[in-house]
Structure 1
Amino acid sequence: MGKLFFFLLLLPLISFSQTKDTSTVKSVKADIQLYKLYTLKKDTIVIDTSLTITDEYKYNYLRKDNFGLLSFANEGYLYTQLDYSKKKISLFPQFGFNAKHIAYLSDTDISYYSVPTPLTDLYFKTVMRQGQSLDALLSLNTQKNLNFTVAYKAIRSIGDYYNNLTSSGHFRFISSYFSPNKKYYMNSHFVGQDIFNQEYGGLKEVSQFEGNEDSFKQRERIDVFFENASSKLKGNRLFIDHSYKLKESNSLVFKHQAFYEYKFYEFLQSTVSNRLGNAEFTSNLNNKTRFDVFYNKAGVSFLTKKFGELYFFIDNYVYNQFYGSNTSYADLLNMPKNLHNRINTIGGQYDFFHSKWRFNVLAQNSISKRQNSTLEASAKFNFDNINSIEIKAQQTSKIPDNSYLFFQSSYENYNWRNTFKNEKETSLKVNATTKWFSLAAQYSLYNDKMYFYNLAERIDSLVVKPLQFDKSIQYYTIEIAKEFKYKKFGFDNRIKFQDVKQNAKIVNVPYIITRNSLYYMDHVFKSAMLLQTGVTLNYFTNYYADDYNPVLGEFYVQKQTKIGGFPMLDFFVNARVRQVRIYLKAEHFNALFGERNYYNTPNYPYHDFKVRFGLEWNLFK
């Protein structure tokens, strides 16, 4: 099946590449505005080589603004999600192991390119200790209507703590094409990625970290829970999205999207840990969970310039999650070897553009035995090029992710086969952009919320089980952003308020998250270089942060220890010379003189003071 799908994906590329086009790329220098990337949602972005405070925020392993995310001590390992509004929702049940997926590139994370001359994008940054982070991309249009892009992102960092190596790689091959008459459009990609981490399980004694004993300033000397455990998330995906329009305007458009993805999550431990309870073996534990999914979506739309687009579709989502062999614990529970399901849905979507207005409505409901559904509506009004307001509403009922329903392990406590109700969520969001400030607000109502919880309620014992909360949870948030400028100085501010109303501590969030940057920018060396330097403060109030379990690759709810209430100060000096942006940062420099009370979870510390540097370089041939 996978080989056939790969051949079908390459077939249009082979045939189209044989078509001659007199408009092939010339050697003359092209306008920077012609170098573009876009998503499947048709959001188009012009490639920008300028240096702004936004570029400073995006200069990290994820290559995006990570406000509301707190990286663990070793970059590329895990992230504490402070901003609950950023939680992703998928209508279909997913693999699970969600803590490991934040750096995993999904189909919506892939961008497609259109460039008049070959484009090279290079990212390099030093890491926490012994290693480097790199992201390299090469994109070219062999013809005006045919693009090929190859990219590879990788990180390797030993980290400060014993048994905390991070080593990950993400390969992307991307292609896009449209026919000369612009009736046929195709976007496709292949992504292969693996995320490997040594799992140290957190600190056994936080007093070793917080104390003043000189020997523990060498962090690898601090006692950790796991000295020989590791995990790997690996996945390959083939994806194609294409459409054919019968005529240029007021036309029927036939659409098809499909992907095949294979994943596995593996937890290895050479010597089992009493912290996780009884185990079937005393050594060389290997828990491997595999996941296959094949997705097809086909539909037809009626597109007009005056009334927008009306789209009807049907899709088929088939998945299989299985284990290499049943454990004796699974046998005692009479558990099957795999979890297989097929979900079919039908839906309709309406998009309308007129002058300053944009409307979108989506309704989707399953026609298979297990019900899931979503209803979405949004409206946006652009007052002008700067001021706009958007309102979104969504109601979703989804099957819980597979790791809640089905799990097998060589550890006795980590075997279950459950039946839970659908999770329900109703959300209302408002986004406003003005010349004075930006504002985002959200209200969400959760019913039958799924979560993991440590029944032992102790850090030194992990008996983590999936549970479902049978009452309602209300989540409120409002975020305000504003940048002040005076001459060559800038003061950029973003603050988020969150609150939760619930009968138990299930969804736990910090009440305030804030980021404030005071910086100076000016041209130096006879305007040959643009210099940017300043200080950034990140802060969040204390709260019961979720803890992490490496066997599940998931965060779990805890209500024993609060973290937060500590400032994180970074000093940065950045520069731009032509298409090269150079970054130098002293990260968390207040750790040199402040209290050692900075944590991601109750026993996973945030990183100490680090000096890191790197660059971004765009080459236009």
Structure 2
Amino acid sequence: MRNPIFITFFILSCFGTLNCQTLKKNNNQSFPSGISKDSSKVKRQKNFGLKDSISIFYYKIISIENDTTIVDTSLTIKKDYKFNYLRRDEFGLIPFANAGQTYNALKLDRNSKLLPVFGARARHYNYMEVEDIDYYEVPTPFSELFFKTVFEQGQILDAFFTINTSRQFNMSVAYKGMRSLGNYQNSLTSTGNLRLTSNYHTKDERYHLKGHITFQDLLNNESGGLTDFDVEQFTSGSDEFLDRSVFDPAIQNADNILEGKRFYLNHSYALIREADSTSGTLILKNRVSFEDKYYQFNQSLRDDYFGPAFSRRIKDRVTLENFEANLAALWKSVIGEVSFGVTYNKLNYGYDFSTIIDNEYIINRIVTNTIALEGSYKKQFGDVNLWTKASTIVSGEFSGYQFEAEASYQFDEDNEIIANFSSASAASNFNTLLYQSNYINYNWYNKDRFSNEKTSQIGLDLNLNKIADFSLDYTVYNDYTYFAFSEENAGVKPFQEAQAISYLKFSAGRQFEIGKFSLDNKVMYQQVGGVEGVINVPDLILRNSLYYSDGLFKNDALFLQTGITFNYFTEFNANAYDPLLAEFYVQNNTKLGNFPRLDVFVNAKVRQTRIFLKAEHVNAAFTGYDYFAAPNYPYRDFNIRFGIVWNFFL
């Protein structure tokens, strides 16, 4: 990001991410649900023709699916959960010791894809995909500054600015940068996410355009965690090992980096406009995207940690170029919204050179063009909403299909039920199909050997405002692909399980309030059936927050929230981490978990500024030092961190 062209893009466009809340439509005006302690007026902007003050309802955040939310400067317990490196709720994830490192997943999320995706998934938690980019519409310039301390020598800063040059055109720019040395040797992290967005529509609303540009780089030094000997010293709690820098890393002089840039354009034009209730609207839609990314593992001198190697210096680099173009037609009428489209993808994944291992020739690239057909239907029948979408690949080296359906019923403003079903078949991730490395044991080609992964999922969400929010998912996996350690080859390799594996996930959440005290609770229960030792998750995950809220000083000039959060998950065979692949792999020898984590927080809000102070893992010293995020990778010790989120309405 040192090239002058980036500065030019910075000046021409803008982008960002914000906390927000859902809008409800009423007489063609947008109103938020449940704004608390919010600043609802900002100064006049003449060219919008508004009165002396502008409602915060006009500051809109628009997703790629056109779901509209508003800027929210309130302070709630949900904001505390999202005040972290990822800027989203980390329930079901446990972070490694340093900020910017990876997370170990304690649960499986709903996931549906049509084509294989890039590997190094452990590096992708902070990699912003197309669906993570928002677009904006604001009556006056608006900005946000996010700051949080880290672990030794660094900070996290996310700066955002957006402006409408007219009612029709908005642009935004944002950059999230993070650097943290960490408490352990060779655990430095440094990441950057630059996002530029534009949002435009004509005065007659016939033409709409959304576009963004992203440049992202995520660098981690890799230590390999603690050695088995040092794990024993860590868990002993001896004073001489409380200085974590005394531990020698398992591997030396290693790092990995994920970099990517994306250019994205999504626009539509209404060829036929609705004249009355009996006619319809025909909209042509076009989406074009180009993404170029690479993952690289570097080591100045090879190490026996990964086995024998072809060379003394290690530099493994894999790239993916993905060009996507979609053309679709959408018809809106009394029968609903019907859409048909075609998507073209040109995929170029791989390495610069081929290799031969044990007389087996391993190609260096997977290059293919695919064409997929898609269709969708959406209709509202009273308080019932129906939606379904299907797509299938009709041309190319890969095969696959997706089917998704959803039905929802709104009991009233605060209560609803949502049922969904999905079925998909797709090739596994690229790095399970083809991988090459200077380390001999990390070379394979499985494209012709692995079958498509097949997933069937049914879900039910029940949101009852005065009772609780419930979520149930039941998923069946066939030909599930995963990484595991191969004793035969002395390295981590991809495997595929032919037998069916079932996965049940049930969660419930509810907040109770008594006066100025609140108790926010979330519990998740999980169960895996079929083949054992392939999908490992804890049976139970808990999070409970007890806190006090009150306004202080004249006119509640300061709003305060203070309390304690309890996190816990039961013992299980947690996945291990491989720093060369930047992937987690299945292991069934080491159990982790069954340790509580207590965080004490004091949060405050003054006007549009939210202040966060948290003592993390305060119980570390008196509940034992047997806390790990993954085998040989300790969880964080007790520490105190501070940060702010500051909004500006100009």
> 2: CA distance between counterparts of 1:335 and 1:327?
5
CA shift digits 1:217-243 (9 cap, x unpaired): 111111221121000000000001111
Task: Give the aligned partner of residue 400 of structure 2.
Answer: 372
Any conservation in 2 of the 1:253–1:301 contact (CA below 8 Å)?
Answer: yes
Picking from 87, 93, 96, the partner of 2:119 is: 96
> 1: CA distance between counterparts of 2:260 and 2:585?
24
Any conservation in 2 of the 1:25–1:144 contact (CA below 8 Å)?
Answer: no
Task: Give the aligned partner of residue 485 of structure 2.
Answer: 454
> 2: CA distance between counterparts of 1:135 and 1:303?
40
Matched, 1:73 2:97: yes
Any conservation in 2 of the 1:389–1:432 contact (CA below 8 Å)?
Answer: yes
Picking from 604, 607, 610, the partner of 2:636 is: 607
> 2: CA distance between counterparts of 1:308 and 1:111?
26
Any conservation in 1 of the 2:350–2:434 contact (CA below 8 Å)?
Answer: no
Any conservation in 2 of the 1:25–1:117 contact (CA below 8 Å)?
Answer: no
Matched, 1:560 2:566: no
CA shift digits 1:303-323 (9 cap, x unpaired): 12x332100001011111121
Task: Give the aligned partner of residue 268 of structure 1.
Answer: 298
Task: Give the aligned partner of residue 422 of structure 1.
Answer: 452
CA shift digits 1:53-105 (9 cap, x unpaired): 11111111111111111111111210111121x25332211111111111100
Task: Give the aligned partner of residue 580 of structure 2.
Answer: 551
CA shift digits 1:174-215 (9 cap, x unpaired): 001011000111100000000000001110030121123333
CA shift digits 1:22-53 (9 cap, x unpaired): 95587954211111101111211111111111
SS in 2 for 1:129: coil
Task: Give the aligned partner of residue 3 of structure 2.
Answer: none
C-alpha distance 41-552 of structure 1, shift in aligned 2 (>3 A): same
Q: Which moved more, 1:348-357 or 1:502-511?
A: 348-357
> 2: CA distance between counterparts of 1:519 and 1:149?
36
Any conservation in 1 of the 2:354–2:361 contact (CA below 8 Å)?
Answer: no
* Deviation (angstroms), 1:337: 2.3
SS in 2 for 1:413: coil
Q: Which moved more, 1:387-396 or 1:30-39?
A: 30-39
Task: Give the aligned partner of residue 61 of structure 2.
Answer: 37
CA shift digits 1:405-442 (9 cap, x unpaired): 10110000011111210000000010011121100000
SS in 2 for 1:223: coil
Task: Give the aligned partner of residue 259 of structure 1.
Answer: 289
* Deviation (angstroms), 1:128: 1.7
SS in 2 for 1:254: strand
> 2: CA distance between counterparts of 1:271 and 1:215?
30
Task: Give the aligned partner of residue 544 of structure 2.
Answer: 516
- Residue type matched to 2:60 in 1? K
CA shift digits 1:468-526 (9 cap, x unpaired): 00100000011000000011000000000000002231011000001000000001122
Picking from 360, 370, 380, the partner of 1:353 is: 380
- Residue type matched to 1:227 in 2? Q
> 2: CA distance between counterparts of 1:541 and 1:257?
45
SS in 2 for 1:56: helix
* Deviation (angstroms), 1:367: 0.5
Task: Give the aligned partner of residue 49 of structure 1.
Answer: 73
Task: Give the aligned partner of residue 256 of structure 2.
Answer: 231
Q: Which moved more, 1:377-386 or 1:214-223?
A: 214-223
* Deviation (angstroms), 1:462: 5.7
Any conservation in 2 of the 1:25–1:141 contact (CA below 8 Å)?
Answer: no
Any conservation in 1 of the 2:273–2:282 contact (CA below 8 Å)?
Answer: no
SS in 1 for 2:549: strand
* Aligned Cα root-mean-square deviation (Å): 2.0
CA shift digits 1:429-464 (9 cap, x unpaired): 10011121100000000000000110139xxx9610
> 2: CA distance between counterparts of 1:121 and 1:329?
53
Any conservation in 1 of the 2:192–2:217 contact (CA below 8 Å)?
Answer: yes
* Deviation (angstroms), 1:329: 4.1
Task: Give the aligned partner of residue 499 of structure 1.
Answer: 527
> 1: CA distance between counterparts of 2:201 and 2:47?
14
Task: Give the aligned partner of residue 563 of structure 2.
Answer: 534
* Deviation (angstroms), 1:344: 1.1
> 1: CA distance between counterparts of 2:368 and 2:639?
47
* Deviation (angstroms), 1:551: 1.1
> 1: CA distance between counterparts of 2:47 and 2:342?
38
> 1: CA distance between counterparts of 2:438 and 2:179?
29
> 2: CA distance between counterparts of 1:343 and 1:502?
34
> 2: CA distance between counterparts of 1:202 and 1:107?
32
CA shift digits 1:142-161 (9 cap, x unpaired): 01111000000011001111
SS in 1 for 2:441: helix
Picking from 316, 320, 334, the partner of 2:361 is: 334
- Residue type matched to 1:606 in 2? Y
Matched, 1:173 2:196: yes
Task: Give the aligned partner of residue 465 of structure 1.
Answer: 493
SS in 2 for 1:271: coil
Any conservation in 2 of the 1:25–1:143 contact (CA below 8 Å)?
Answer: no
Picking from 300, 313, 324, the partner of 1:295 is: 324
SS in 2 for 1:30: strand
Q: Which moved more, 1:384-393 or 1:211-220?
A: 211-220
Task: Give the aligned partner of residue 240 of structure 1.
Answer: 265
Any conservation in 1 of the 2:237–2:625 contact (CA below 8 Å)?
Answer: no
Picking from 564, 571, 574, the partner of 2:603 is: 574
> 2: CA distance between counterparts of 1:566 and 1:149?
43
* Deviation (angstroms), 1:247: 3.5
Matched, 1:475 2:499: no
Any conservation in 2 of the 1:168–1:196 contact (CA below 8 Å)?
Answer: yes
* Deviation (angstroms), 1:577: 0.3
Matched, 1:443 2:474: yes
Return the TM-score normalized by structure 1.
0.94
Matched, 1:363 2:390: yes
Q: Which moved more, 1:561-570 or 1:75-84?
A: 75-84
> 1: CA distance between counterparts of 2:134 and 2:543?
28
> 2: CA distance between counterparts of 1:27 and 1:598?
57
> 2: CA distance between counterparts of 1:328 and 1:546?
30
Any conservation in 1 of the 2:403–2:422 contact (CA below 8 Å)?
Answer: yes
Task: Give the aligned partner of residue 3 of structure 1.
Answer: none
Matched, 1:431 2:456: no
> 1: CA distance between counterparts of 2:514 and 2:269?
51
- Residue type matched to 1:580 in 2? T
- Residue type matched to 1:483 in 2? Q
- Residue type matched to 1:609 in 2? F
Matched, 1:278 2:308: yes
SS in 2 for 1:466: strand
Task: Give the aligned partner of residue 19 of structure 1.
Answer: none
Q: Percent identity at matched positions?
A: 38
C-alpha distance 192-28 of structure 1, shift in aligned 2 (>3 A): farther
> 1: CA distance between counterparts of 2:522 and 2:490?
37
Return the TM-score normalized by structure 2.
0.90
Q: Which runs of 5+ in 2 are unaligned?
A: 1-5, 14-45, 275-279
CA shift digits 1:254-300 (9 cap, x unpaired): 00111000000000001111121110112x21001111000111111
> 1: CA distance between counterparts of 2:84 and 2:622?
25
Q: Which runs of 5+ in 1 are unaligned?
A: 1-5, 14-21
Any conservation in 2 of the 1:122–1:616 contact (CA below 8 Å)?
Answer: yes
> 1: CA distance between counterparts of 2:215 and 2:391?
30
SS in 1 for 2:431: helix
CA shift digits 1:509-547 (9 cap, x unpaired): 000001000000001122210000000001000111111
- Residue type matched to 2:362 in 1? M
